[in-house]
Structure 1
């Protein structure tokens, strides 16, 4: 029975360490992920808009990027609707 108590104690200690690590590092990991996603979206905006004849240096680039943002938002809304069973 002693071995069982030791195992439970070790597992609880590992769980506590994991929770503390997640609390300490979670916000940093989330921020890094969000920053990487923003960088990737900017690159996608540039690539798509340039393929459509709207280079980064043009006046229309901001409008092109805004349209792409709208398309992404509509897609996210549809995915959320499907996940919630609304669509």
Structure 2
């Protein structure tokens, strides 16, 4: 499920250019045939944040904003 949530974030955020809300992610996943509860989504987002792939902030009391972190590749 973690990969599915991450791929949805990449699609919705246009490659990390725009933050998205939890409800946008849930709606996108439902439209694409995936059934996930809000608690499961929150767990997936926490894992992605611990991996350094996303940044999650509270936008309102009920909603969180998720920003996809784009890694800069360095050449040595």
TM range, smaller chain: under 0.3
Q: Calculate the TM-score normalised by the size of structure 1.
A: 0.26
Larger radius of gyration: 1
Which structure has the higher relative contact order (CA within 8 Å, separation 6+)? Answer: 2
Which is richer in helix? 1
